[in-house]
Amino acid sequence: MPAKRLPSVVLVGRPNVGKSTLFNRLTGSRRAIVNRVAGTTRDVLTHPVVWQDVGFELTDTGGMFGASEDPLHELVIARGQRALQAADVIVFVVDGREGLVSADEEIADVVRGANVPVILAVNKTDDRRARSGALELYRLGFDPIHEISAEHGQGVGELLDEIVRRLPSAPRLRGHIDEPTFEDPDDHGRRVGRRSGGATLEETAVAVVGRPNAGKSSLVNRLLREERMIVSETPGTTRDAVDTMLKWHRRQFRIVDTAGIRRPGRVARGGQVEEVSVLLARRAIQRADVVVLVIDAPAGPTDQDAAIAGSAEQAGCGVIIVANKWDLMKQQGPDGAKTFDEQVRFHLKFVEYAPILHISALTGERTPKLLETIDKVAAARRVRVPTPELNRFVGEITARHPPVSPGHRNVRVLFAAQTGVAPPAFVLFTNVATKLHFSYERFLQNQLREAYGFAGTPLKITVRKRTRERASGRQR
């Protein structure tokens, strides 16, 4: 079931007034794509914000207002209207440089009908040209009016103060998520929210990734049990990396739906919006604890699927391979699943540890199994093996199967230690400075997975020559 809802604050306005820039500024992230192309934002983006210990969900409605040649514009409008109906406060964003235009008056009529508090935010007032134009906007009749610059952060703190004042019975969240800063926002943290003092929230970040039209958004909607993401047969429907909280069996998952990732050459031909979409998808992988790689089962695994899996493996994420549209594969007979899995293992050799699930986002077949597997992989990433137990185990394995190293003989492992989790990392101290043969390193990884349940997660093994202390001094 979805997490308990915080009060909702919704940003509305015509195209290119700066809604996405303001969304990024208020959330302290780079989640919304900022581009001069009207209608760039399609999905309804939502992200938690805490200000003065008060929490709320901030929503960017995208290009629901204004004319558009986007074939999915009707779906965008429908999603935006649902967000407006659920709003507790509306922030109506207008462009101070352009002053009052007829489209602003039309939007004003719509938001008045919502019967919730409306705050008028006059954006781009850092430009001197906007000073005179901003005066015209007072004719819209909204009170209060805040002059801001979303790009530079001017007036944004005062806008947040006003939002908090207008929220009905907003919960106090002292010590839960850091308040945003108004410097250049960045988003390199693996966790979305951080407790005061630096501790992370107990949540698992899950990035749903794959090629275009693999069924990522349909899968996310199925997991959330609501039509949260726009689904269409049009390639490239999803542009932003859209994240939503999901609670399942007292576990909290942050599910991130990402844009389809094509080969770099095709992305370059797709234009700037697609380039940014793919960049956000790759950032979602960097932030994720677990990556769900969605493969179009009828199309089969491809080299591009392998490239995406490689990005997840290099980022140290847990990996789950989901063969979607399995309802279209039933005619292959009882050996169809085995043949398909062999093809996947052949194309994605370096993530042989990743579990493979055969599901249908359309019918819901085996989708509950995905949540169980995410939880299992997330737990495996946090397993820590006690040092005495690890040394006993490594000693037994290396005694039966001595280490193999290019250019060195008689390599002995003298001591082993686990140096990290998420992903699990190990250091082997040996009698000579060397590097294990990749096949032997993979052998050790497989033995560790089998013994300690490191399901679906990469293992990092480093080899060092052990230093010894002698009376005469240090010896390496």
Answer whether 95's CB lies under 8 Å from 89's CB: no
Instruction: Tell me if 254 is assigned to some domain.
Output: yes
Residues 154 and 240 reside in one and the same domain: no
349 and 289, same structural domain?
Answer: yes
The number of folded domains in the chain is: 3
**Which CATH number fits the domain that encloses residue 429?**
3.30.300.20
Q: 282 and 424 share a domain?
A: no
From 315, 348, 381, give the residue that closes a domain: 381
Alpha carbon distance 347, 341 (integer Å) = 10
Q: Is beta strand 118-123 parallel, antiparallel or unpaired with respect to 145-147?
A: parallel
| Nearest Cα to Cα of residue 20 among 43, 42, 38, 41 | 41
Domain residue limits at 25:
8-166
Single pTM value for the model: 0.69
**Are 237 and 372 members of one domain?**
yes
Whether residue 185 lies inside any domain: the answer is no
φ/ψ bin of 300: left (φ > 0), alpha (ψ from -120 to 50), beta (otherwise):
left
- Give the residue from 12, 159, 145 showing the smallest Cα distance to 85: 12
Q: Do 319 and 335 fall within a single domain?
A: yes
Claim to verify: residue 254 and residue 348 sit in the same structural domain:
yes
Among 166, 191, 218, the domain-final residue is: 166
Assess if residue 14 is contained within a domain: yes
Residues 109, 156 within the same domain: yes
Residue 391 and residue 377 share a domain: no
d(CA 265, CA 302): 16
Based on the fold, state whether residues 375 and 399 are members of the same structural domain. no
| Residue 194 covered by a domain | no
Q: For position 81, which CATH number holds?
A: 3.40.50.300
Q: Within a domain: residue 183?
A: no
263 and 243 in a single domain? The answer is yes
Three-state secondary structure readout of 180-195: CCCCCCCCCCCCCCEC
Encode the chain (476 residues) as per-residue pLDDT tens digits.
444 568 999 998 887 888 888 998 998 866 544 444 444 444 567 788 889 889 898 988 765 565 444 444 455 555 667 778 888 999 999 988 888 888 888 888 888 888 999 999 999 888 766 566 667 788 888 988 899 999 889 999 999 999 999 997 655 655 444 444 444 333 333 333 333 333 334 789 999 999 888 988 889 889 988 765 444 454 444 444 567 888 888 888 988 888 777 665 444 444 444 455 567 778 888 889 999 999 999 999 999 999 999 999 999 999 999 999 999 998 887 788 999 999 999 999 989 999 999 999 999 999 999 999 999 999 999 999 999 999 999 999 999 999 988 776 788 999 999 999 999 999 999 988 778 888 999 999 999 999 999 999 999 999 998 766 544 444 44
Whether residue 290 contacts residue 320, with contact meaning beta carbons closer than 8 Å, is answered with yes
User: Same structural domain for residues 67 and 154?
Assistant: yes
Coil, helix or strand for 248? strand
102 and 155 fall within a common domain: yes
Reported as type and span, the H/E element at residue 277 is helix 272-287
Give the count of alpha carbons within 13 A of 361, CB side only: 24
Check residue 39 and give its pLDDT: 43
Which of 287, 291, 283, 267 shows the shortest CA–CA distance to 212? 267
Last residue of a domain, one of 381, 400, 424: 381
